Structure 1
Amino acid sequence: MTSTANPFDDPRHVEMYAARAAQMVPAYRDIHRLASVLIDERAPSDARVLVLGAGGGLETKAFAQAHPGWTFDAVDPSAAMLELAARNLGPYAERVRMHCGYIEDAPDGPFAAATSLLTLHFLPEEVRRETAAQVRRRLAPGAPFVVAHMSFGQHDGERDVWISRHVANLVAAGIDPADTDKARNAIANEVPVLPPEQDRAILREAGFTDVTEFFAAFTFRGWVGYA
């Protein structure tokens, strides 16, 4: 079972997602470009790409704009977020097949690449392990898997420092303090964030090789590994 409670069913969250994400995540759109570059290193010009946690559609749109020959299978557990993705994709939606569900609801592939951006931190550790393993089984040999999500130290005191820095960055980005208080509570009590060494280990245990960190900004980390 790879499903878990979905925090993106709230219609208010869906409506503000596209604008708010760029405020909440440092270098948000740069992550999309970096992921595209990492995929392009190994993927063919007609690559079929699996986008896990694709609600909103912004990363898929960035990939589609940069690579007119790529096609996509976009998977997300929230129908409302997939509807938002279809709106955001506009004419690029014709190259995207939408799948409402989790990784087990994705096609078998084989895919030339896969991404999971800003989603894995919502999954408990065991669900995350199974998700990584199922992505690995759907990839062609050598295909890249690009992930980026919250990942920071969990030792005494370290966790609180990073959460405070994240909240301070939200305030500096112009987010209402009332909303930043909600974010602090969610990260502290609801989001199962893991330390970076554990996130890397999950990818390796799933069978990914040459796992390399390509992004780090406050509470967010990104890695690429190969099937």
Structure 2
Amino acid sequence: MTNTFFQKEHAASYAERPPRQVPGFDSLHRMVSMLLAERAPGAGRILVLGAGGGLELKALAEAHPGWAFDGIDPSPDMLRLARQTVAGHAARIRLVEGYIDSAPDGPYDGATALLTFHFIPREQRLATLAHIHHRLKPGAALLLAHISFPQTEPERSQWIARHVGYAAAPDADPAQLRQAREAIATRLTILAPEEEEDMLRQAGFMDVSLFYAGLGFRGWVAYKP
């Protein structure tokens, strides 16, 4: 995730956007919580990449009062928002400004990266996954969820239109919708689902499974051997 996407004007309204843009947003958090808990102990330590905003940190902290968290994000504005969001759990949450190579070494009992990887350039994806893999305990789970759909036409354009249409208000300005489609097409790094899964395996993860799909979003769980 890069600062260019989440500066002050974006951070201010961030909390309102994911529930509107991501199908089953609250249920996604519940599924992530459940899948992490299959492997993480009651006093587990969890790595959260792309923690700015604090929404998944808040959901996980409320569900698991014994867990501690390290949240990583490059945007100071988003981290400021995260601190407000998780204020009631601050004693268990450490927030770090930076990218994955700024994260503590762990080892962690699990990791998440929700709505984050479509902001990471393709050439940095594999290294990012490898950094996460290095920081996990053997057997620990990684939970990913972000935009992923076929990259061949006409499927790619159709999925972009669906993504924009789902989040749009009934009275949305057509010009703004066109701008939104263009932004997704040019500013995000979106891979086909099969490429996502292959990259997880290249990074050393095993038992890669799809656990969530909502329109153009996909979520995987994978494990460190």
2:145 matched to which residue of 1? 148
Work out which of the residue numbers 185, 204, 212 in structure 2 matches 1:215: 212
2:122 matched to which residue of 1? 125
Work out which of the residue numbers 162, 167, 187 in structure 1 matches 2:164: 167
Query: Take 1:96 and 1:15, find their aligned partners in 2: how far apart are those partners?
Result: 21
* Residues 1:8 and 2:5 are matched in the alignment: yes
* Residues 1:157 and 2:154 are matched in the alignment: yes
Query: Take 2:57 and 2:174, find their aligned partners in 1: how far apart are those partners?
Result: 31
One-letter identity of the residue aligned with 2:60 = F
Distance 1:41 1:174, change over 3 A: farther
1:225 matched to which residue of 2? 222
One-letter identity of the residue aligned with 1:140 = K
- How big is each residue's C-alpha offset from its partner over 1:152-179, in whole Å with a ceiling of 9 and x where there is no partner? 0011211011011111111257766555
Distance 1:36 1:157, change over 3 A: same
1:114 matched to which residue of 2? 111
* Residues 1:88 and 2:85 are matched in the alignment: yes
Q: Secondary structure at the match of 2:71?
A: strand
Please say which of residues 60-69 and 122-131 is displaced more in the overlay.
122-131
Query: Take 2:2 and 2:199, find their aligned partners in 1: how far apart are those partners?
Result: 21
Work out which of the residue numbers 190, 196, 199 in structure 2 matches 1:199: 196
Please say which of residues 139-148 and 171-180 is displaced more in the overlay.
171-180
8 Å CA contact 2:2, 2:74 repeated in 1: no
The RMSD of aligned alpha carbons is: 1.5
Query: Take 1:65 and 1:163, find their aligned partners in 2: how far apart are those partners?
Result: 34
Distance 1:156 1:62, change over 3 A: same
Query: Take 2:133 and 2:194, find their aligned partners in 1: how far apart are those partners?
Result: 19
2:70 matched to which residue of 1? 73
8 Å CA contact 1:211, 1:224 repeated in 2: yes
One-letter identity of the residue aligned with 2:195 = Q
Please say which of residues 207-216 and 162-171 is displaced more in the overlay.
162-171
Aligned length: 224
Please, which runs of 5 or more residues in structure 1 have no aligned partner? none
Q: Secondary structure at the match of 1:142?
A: strand
Query: Take 1:206 and 1:226, find their aligned partners in 2: how far apart are those partners?
Result: 11
Distance 1:66 1:176, change over 3 A: farther
CA drift of 1:94 comes to: 1.5
1:26-105 correspondence runs (5 A): 26-105=23-102
Work out which of the residue numbers 176, 187, 191 in structure 2 matches 1:190: 187
8 Å CA contact 2:163, 2:215 repeated in 1: yes
8 Å CA contact 2:54, 2:83 repeated in 1: yes
8 Å CA contact 2:2, 2:75 repeated in 1: no
Q: Secondary structure at the match of 2:168?
A: helix
Query: Take 1:68 and 1:144, find their aligned partners in 2: how far apart are those partners?
Result: 19
- How big is each residue's C-alpha offset from its partner over 1:63-98, in whole Å with a ceiling of 9 and x where there is no partner? 000000000000000011011000011211211001
Distance 1:203 1:21, change over 3 A: same
One-letter identity of the residue aligned with 1:149 = H
Query: Take 1:179 and 1:65, find their aligned partners in 2: how far apart are those partners?
Result: 37
Distance 1:181 1:133, change over 3 A: same
